[in-house]
Amino acid sequence: MVLLLSSIAALWAAGAIASPLQARADPKTYEAEDAVLSGTVVEKTVAGFTGTGYVGGFDTGTDRITFTISSDAAQLYDLSIRVAAVYGEKRTTVILNGGSSSEVYFAASQTWNSVSGGQLLLNKGSNKVEIVNNWGWYLIDSITLTPSGSRPAANINTALVNPAADADAKALYAYLRSIYGKKILSGQQELSYANWIGQQTGKIPAVVSVDLIEYSPSRVAYGSVGKSVEEAIEHHKRGGIISFLWHWNAPTGLYDTEENRWWSGFYTRATDFDIAATLSAGPSNANYTLMLRDIDAIAVQLKRLQAAGVPILWRPLHEAEGGWFWWGAKGAEPAKKLWNLLYDRLTNHHKLNNLIWVWNSIAPEWYPGDSTVDILSADIYQQGNGPMSVQYNQLVELGRDKKMIAAAEVGAAPLPGLLQAYQTNWLWFAVWGDTFINNQEWNSIETLKNIYTSDYVLTLDEIQGWRG
Ligand SMILES: *[C@@H]1O[C@H](CO)[C@@H](O)[C@H](O)[C@H]1NC(C)=O
C-alpha cells in the first residue's frame, strides 16, 4: 500500500509497449481534426501529419478530442494513438463512453509516433472515445482501432526458481499453473477483512495477504508485536493460500519526527537510511550488518511458517519502482541488488524452501531477472472495478509470458466479465484493507457479491484440496 495515490497513477501509464495480443487485420484510423474538439484546435505546423492537420492546444484540464466510433459488435480493440510529444514526456487520459478511463504515457519526441493506448471494449453501435488533457501540451494526429485477436497460450515455467523448493511450495505452484488463464483466485489483505467479506458475500477469499511489518526490528524496538504469522497459519489450516508482503521499517535512520513517526519508517520520507550506500559499503559496514539482522529476523518468522507446512506467495520489496519506499528510493540498481541479496540470504543461508518469489514492479529496468522471480505482479489503485489490462499486458511482455501474473494489491476488485472480455488472466487479486475494501466508492457490497459468487472467481470453499 502507499498513501500517495497520485504517485501510483504514474504506474498506470500505458507506455509505448505493444499489446501482446495478436491483432487481426482491418485497423481503422480516425483523424483527430475530424473529431469534435473542445478547447483544442487544428494545427498544421509540425510536418508529417496524416489527413488535413492535427490537434493541439491541450492547455486546460477539460480540453479534449471526442471521437465517435461505431462497432458492429461488442468487441475488444487495441488502441493506438499517433502523437508528437514535442514539449517533452506527457500523459493523456483516455475515457471510454464517459466511464472507464486509463492513462497513457507519451515519451518525448520531435516526430510523429504511434503509441499503444491499451485496449477498449466497445459496445455494439456508437461509442465515445475521449482524449482528455491530463499533462497537456502534446499533439494528436489520429487514433487507430484494431480488433484484438485472442491471446496466445502462455508458456509458464514448470519449475520454481529455487531448485530446493519444498513439496508444499511445489504443490502450490502446480495448482496455480493448473488454474492460470482459466480462473482467478479471490484475495484480500488482512484476515479480518477476509472474514468480513465472508459475512458480506457468503464466500471467503481463497488468498489472504498479510504483512511482516510488525516483525521489523526497528518496530519491535518500539514495542510492536507481530501476529500475522498466526493469522496466516489460521487461514492455511482452513485450506487457504497465503501471501506475505513486508513493509520493512528501515533498519536505522528513522526520523521519528512529528510528521514522520517511527511507524512510517518504511517510507522514503521517514528515514535517511541509504540502501545504495549500504550495499556499496559491503559486509564490514555497520548498516549492512543491521540490514542482515533485519532479514534474519524475518527469516525466523518465515521458518515458523515453513515448519507449519505453509507455502508462501512471498512479495518483499513491493512497489520498488515507485520510489516512495526506501528500498526503491535510490533507483533500480540498488533495489535489484537488494532483491538478489534477500533471495540468496533466505534461500541459501536460511534454507527457506517454502517461498514462491513474487516480484512487484512493471518497468523492465527494475526487473531483477528470471532466475530469482517466480511470479510477476503489480499494485494498482484504480476505481471502477476494471480489468487493469494495460498493466497485465506490460507484465506479459516483461516475463515473455513465462511467469504467471498477479494483481497483488488493488483498490477495486476486478469484475469477472471484464477480466474475461479483456483476457486479463490475473492469477489472483487482493484488495487492500482499510479505506478500500470497506469503501463503497471502491467496492460496493453489490459488486463484491457479484465478484465473489462468479464461477470465474475461486473462493476458499472452491479451492479445497488444492494440494492434490
Ligand atoms: C548508517 O545509516 C545512518 C542513517 O542513515 C547514517 O546516519 C550513518 O552514517 C550510517 N553509518 C554508516 C557506518 O554508514
- Reading the chain (468 residues) residue by residue, the pLDDT tens digits are 544 333 333 323 333 333 445 544 589 999 999 999 999 999 999 999 999 999 999 999 999 999 999 999 999 999 999 999 999 999 999 999 998 788 888 999 999 999 989 899 999 999 999 999 999 999 999 999 999 988 889 999 999 999 999 999 999 999 999 999 999 999 999 999 999 999 999 999 999 999 999 999 999 999 999 999 999 999 999 999 999 999 999 999 999 999 999 999 999 999 999 999 999 999 999 999 999 999 999 999 999 999 999 999 999 999 999 999 999 999 999 999 999 999 999 999 999 999 999 999 999 999 999 999 999 999 999 888 999 988 999 999 999 999 999 999 999 999 999 999 999 999 999 999 999 999 999 999 999 999 999 999 999 999 999 988
Q: Burial, 283: exposed, middle or buried (Cβ in 10 Å; 0-12, 13-18, 19+)?
A: exposed
Q: Which atom of ligand 1 is nearest the CA belonging to 274?
A: 5
pLDDT of amino acid 416: 97
Residue 290 Cα: closest atom of ligand 1: 1
Binding pocket residue ranges, ligand 1, CB within 6 Å: 252-253, 272-274, 281, 285-287
**What was the pLDDT predicted at 99?**
84
| Cα 285 to ligand 1 centroid, rounded to whole Å | 9
Instruction: Return the C-alpha cell found at 172.
Output: 502450490
For residue 282, the CA-to-ligand 1 centroid distance in Å is 13
Q: Please state, in angstroms and rounded to a whole number, the distance separating the CA atoms of residues 215 and 236.
A: 20
**Residue of the nearest CA to atom 5 in ligand 1?**
273
- Of 190, 319, 321, 333, which one is the catalytic site residue? 319
> Bridge-partner residues for 46, per DSSP?
none
Burial 175-210 (b: 16+ CB within 10 A, else e): bbeebbbebbbbbbbbbebbbbbbeebebbbbbbbb
> pTM for the complete prediction?
0.87
Pairwise CA distance, residues 143 & 31, whole Å? 7
Tell me which of 256, 268, 274 to substitute to probe ligand 1's pocket, judged by most ligand atoms within 8 Å of the beta carbon.
274
The C-alpha cell 519526441 sits at 109
Which residue CA neighbors atom 11 of ligand 1 most closely? 287
Spatial separation of the C-alpha atoms in residues 421 and 164, rounded to whole Å: 38
Which atom of ligand 1 lies at the shortest distance from residue 272's CA? Answer: 5
210/432 Cα distance (integer angstroms): 10
Q: Which atom of ligand 1 is nearest to the CA of 271?
A: 5
CA of 293 from ligand 1 middle (Å) equals 15
Cβ 302 vs Cβ 351: under 8 Å? no
Query: Cα(182)–Cα(416) distance, rounded to whole angstroms?
Result: 11
Residue 239 CA to residue 87 CA, distance in Å, equals 55
The Å distance, Cα 109 to ligand 1 centre, comes to 42
Residue identifier of the C-alpha nearest atom 4 of ligand 1: 253
Q: Which of 33, 409, 441, 462 is catalytic?
A: 409
Q: Which pLDDT does position 247 carry in this prediction?
A: 98
Structural domains in the chain? 5-147 (2.60.120.260), 167-462 (3.20.20.80)
pLDDT given for residue 149 in this prediction: 87
Whose Cα sits closest to atom 1 in ligand 1?
287
Q: Around Cβ 272, how many Cβ atoms within 10 Å?
A: 12
Query: Catalytic: 319?
Result: yes
Residue 48: what residue type? G
Q: How far is the CA of 292 from the centre of ligand 1 (A)?
A: 15
CA-closest residue to ligand 1 atom 10? 287
* Interval between CA 157 and ligand 1 midpoint (Å): 41
Q: Examine the residue annotation and report whether 446 is marked as an active-site residue of this protein.
A: no
Nearest atom, ligand 1, residue 286 CA: 13
